[in-house]
Chains A and B, each alone.
Chain A
Amino acid sequence: MFRKTKKNASPLADILKAGNGEVTRDEILQYELLEGNGPKGAPKGDPIMQVRDLHVSFATEAGVCRAVRGVNFDLWRGRTLGIVGESGSGKSVTALSLIGLLDDNAKVTGSIKMNGVELVGKTDEEMSVIRGEHIAMVFQDPLSALTPMFTIGDQIAEGLITHHPDMSKQAVHDRCIELLDLVGIPQPEERLNSFPHQFSGGMRQRVMIAIAIANNPDVIIADEPTTALDVTIQAQILDVLAKAQKETGAAVVLITHDLGVVAGAADDILVMYAGRPVERASIDDIFAKPSMPYTMGLLGAVPKPHVAASQRLVPIQGNPPSLVDIPAGCPFSPRCPLATPECSQAEPNLEVVDATNGHLASCRRLNEIVSKNMKYTDVFPVPEMLPAKWAEVPRDQRPVTLEVEHLVKTFPLTGGGMFRRTIGRVSAVDDVTFKIRQGETLALVGESGSGKSTTLMEIMNLMKPEDGRIVVLGHDLATLKGRGDRKALRKDLQIIFQDPMSSLDPRMTVYDVLAEPLKVHKWDKEKINHRIGELMELVGLNPDYVDRFPTQFSGGQRQRISIARALATDPKVLLLDEPIASLDVSIQAGVINLLEDLQAKLKISYLFVAHDLAVIRQISDRVAVMYLGQVVELGETEDVFTHPRHPYTQALLSAIPVPDPVVERTRSRIILKGDLPSPAEHHPGCRFASRCPVKLTLSPAQQQMCDGQRPTLRGDDQNQSEFACHFPLAVTAESAF
């Protein structure tokens, strides 16, 4: 369509277009051509892009940071290569070097050939001819990736005009509308004149994809395109990305740390660790037969949303090495349970695991792993579950530690002008009800803007709520008198925040951080010292480290310090606000296990706020699903995951990417239309009605009920769950997962 009419302005683009088509025929390509265990079979034809022996290093103050050390791969049109790794594994740097957007101080060696044309060593001006026309990229954070001062239309048009200055205004306009339509933005004609801040995150990421595919590129790089988005929006964006690939026929490089995302979207996988590829195979092989211990560990550490939490997660000990000072030998050996002293002698290269399927892995003990057919449970010992002290007492007989009933919190909406009049109210929390008993974990799930954090803050405030009731350990907050009462209660109610970096004062030593809550409660020095030693042991940190500063610890260790601080006063209830969202997969598992152990030892109740449903299935006993400030479903975790009663819960569950390509391919997904409506709008009826897929199947009279009458939490005799829906889903023999 569009591609036929365009003319290339520059000779370089002509070369690329015509392409001398010179394909490097080497051993690497030979194995890649065998990768057939995926939905698209083995790659056919010539690759569009070839990367050979790519090295990238940066000069930093600490020394030379070798971010990428010898990466090889080919890209074919219409295929998706997933690059998986934790932060610091070099995956983003690899991507940025393909498109020539690295910082000036980056030193790139090796070869990146696009259609036979070498890209390494090209100047910024030369690369700018190729960027946007032949290679495009979608970035992680859609909120900051668009220029706030320009309209969406201008920003899409810019990419078109830069490469095709002879396009007529009308043609540019039409193409912009076509693109917005393609990525699923309603009323594209009017939206062209909108500014980025008028769009939600998901919509902005759609615009970003529209910009990327504007010139029908040959290669699209997507760097964590859904990490910053909610799970239902993530499903939409992955859908749009697949559509964009179909439309342009481009090769896609999908970079992510989320194994669920690659399972559904990629054909081939490259696992990176410390700047090197450690395993590569087609998608099914990686998940079915991981052969490098790191890959095994990564797969074992991921909580699985589609199976009940029957066993504990397997954390990988230790932390990834610093790229400035990579140890000799295999960089994974310090964390590897299979490592022998020889492993730290020389770094292994990618070797053949399965020659017929092109499966490669780099491990010195690969032969052993393959011949013994080792699974991750053989490599990583599964930690024992600690017996819970209260397990014999049935749930009903355990005391209720935290009770919230019909909680409401609104914020005033002020107008402009001198006097900032209140012109409306935003209901951040509107009818939240749940109960937590001793030693129990309740997960509060919902998309951003659903009121999870506001609920936590209302509880932490220990003030009389605007409406409804909060009872903490038997004390109704409305009856608390004065600061003394609150302070006493606060000892039993502690909170852990999402980002351990910003929630720990960088100028305080760990000792001071841990001693602060105790000093507030007037402990004497000797008792404090003793308690701090105890706390450090409890969270698995060396007590000798108390005089260090938070910056000297890794992310996982910092979160352990946060946990220790929260536990200092021996609380009965712990509120956790996305405590593991900022941690890498291999570190996450350790923190989840720690939280489980602490609960078993200390009988604490957790109120666990998270958006990652897989983590929730792993850790929680009960789930409260929130939508626009209201709890729409409340029940036992297993009931909710297997037989959701509220249509929103069902949609939420179906949107989770499952880290298993076989399951992922056969699942049907309910993709919700649009975004979360603004909480400032007033909904007389069900808040979910505007996006509800079930409502569309109802009779007009029933639909009227949805629009006009607010449903409240109720149960029925089909299962134990409570739901706020007039027409709940029936419990069938079939499980939702």
Chain B
Amino acid sequence: MLKFIAKRLANYVVMLFVAVSFTYFMASAFMHPRSVYESRTPRPPQDSIERTLDLANLNDRTPVLERYWNWLTAIVTRWDWGKSPTLESVNSAIAPRVLASTELVTLSTVLSIVLGVALGIYTAQRQYKWQDRMFMVTGTLFMVIPSAVLALLIVLMAIAVNDTVGFRMFYVTGLSSYTGDDIGLRLLDFLQHIILPTISLTLLGMVGYHLTQRTYLLDELHADYVRTARMKGLTRRQAVRRHALRASLIPTGVNVAFSIASVFTGAVITESIFAINGLGRYFITAINQSDINASVAIAAFGGVCTLTGALLADIFSAWLDPRIKMS
């Protein structure tokens, strides 16, 4: 097993390096930080533009290979991901945002996987019964509602609740407002903030898992080996739990793993509505401002997330299905 993981890991490191380097060249080719300064009014002096760009290692008059080399050595030797065109450090900009994003998405991701998969399993075993049809209808509803609309609806409802109870039970912006030292109060404060975006993200996220898990399990439910298990004396429920479920979880595991990256960077709309400074918004801003280094750093973070997910998926699948390990 260890050898299997080590082999995969080595593969992934190579892959990541190639992908990130490629992103760097692409970003350097398509983004023009120079234009950020040149379009300013009043236009800064040419020397100052050149100097700033040089300092940020973004000057397009320096050959791209040289810039790439500088950028790479800075990362390898000092773990320095470079500077934005305005000379802010990418490292210090990205860290709090990763933290905010993690706080925002962890709970909702876990909840949407657990609830979605559970719902998928529940409805698959009741295919075409009223429970299945009901959840199918609600699922489809959440699938077609734009996330902005859903988030705004939740905000409106939360405000209504706040008005009814007479004090601020739910916060609709930010991730924290308490500044004291009491751990208990701080946690309560955090929960008051996080609950609304979590509901919004969970509702949207679980639909996918619900529908796919239902399909995967239905595929396995009628497999011959489930019938064999029942023949041995297992009830249908036991046979499904011990035999069919295992196989049906493999594709779900893979889905989960590969969605990690998009979970971090894809919550833009939710972040905007709940005024949370997360990675998603940062990514959009970085691209708009021709911030090559920040864009590449976020892409690299996404790559790490994806490959970590892929590795987890591999381990998960190998654990569920021994055939994978052997071949």
Contact = CB atoms under 8 A, between A and B. Distances in A.
B231 A148 contact: no
Nearest to A128: B235
B326 to A, nearest CB: 8
Contact of A418 (B11, B243, B322): B11
Interface stretch (A155-163, A432-440, A494-502, A544-552): A155-163
Nearest to B242: A158
Interface in A377-420: 416-418
Contact of B323 (A137, A195, A214): A195
A204 to B, nearest CB: 11
Interface string B214-227: 00000000011101
A162 B234 contact: yes
B233 A131 contact: yes
A146 interface: yes
Given A128-B234, A131-B232, A149-B247, A101 B227 contact: yes
A139 B235 CA distance: 18
Contacts of B230: 101, 128, 131
Interface residues of B, number: 26
Given A139-B224, A418-B11, A148 B323 contact: yes
A132 interface: yes
Interface in A571-626: none
A129 B232 CA distance: 9
Interface in B21-63: none
A203 to B, nearest CB: 16
Contacts of A214: 232
A197 interface: yes
Contact of B247 (A124, A136, A148, A417): A148
Contact of A145 (B225, B236, B238, B320): B225
Nearest to B227: A101
Contacts of B164: none
Contacts of A145: 224-225, 227-228
Nearest to A104: B236
B233 A133 contact: yes
B236 to A, nearest CB: 5
A144 interface: yes
B228 A208 contact: yes
Contacts of A101: 227, 230-231
Given A149-B246, A149-B247, A158 B223 contact: no
A132 B224 contact: no
Most buried by A among B229, B234, B320: B229
A99 B323 contact: no
A616 B197 CA distance: 71
A150 B238 CA distance: 15
A189 interface: no
Contact of B228 (A128, A139, A162, A195): A139
A144 B322 contact: no
Contact of B235 (A124, A144, A417): A124
Interface in A60-103: 99, 101
A125 B322 CA distance: 31
A251 B243 CA distance: 29
Interface in B243-261: 243, 246-247
Given A145-B224, A147-B243, A416-B327, A136 B321 contact: no
Interface string A99-135: 1010000000000000000000000110011111100
B11 A128 contact: no
A211 B327 contact: no
Contact of B232 (A139, A162, A416, A418): A162
Given A148-B321, A148-B323, A418-B11, A141 B233 contact: no
Given A139-B224, A416-B327, A418-B11, 20 more contacts: A124-B235, A124-B236, A125-B235, A128-B233, A131-B230, A131-B231, A131-B232, A131-B233, A132-B231, A137-B231, A141-B224, A144-B224, A144-B225, A148-B323, A158-B229, A158-B234, A162-B234, A163-B233, A211-B232, A212-B231
Interface of A: 99, 101, 124-125, 128-133, 136-137, 139, 141, 144-151, 158-159, 162-163, 195, 197, 208, 211-212, 214-215, 416-418
Interface of B: 7, 11, 223-225, 227-236, 238, 242-243, 246-247, 320-323, 326-327
27 contacts: A99-B231, A101-B227, A101-B230, A124-B236, A128-B233, A128-B235, A129-B233, A131-B231, A132-B231, A132-B233, A132-B234, A136-B231, A139-B224, A145-B225, A147-B228, A148-B247, A149-B246, A149-B320, A149-B321, A149-B323, A159-B232, A159-B233, A195-B323, A211-B228, A211-B232, A215-B233, A417-B7
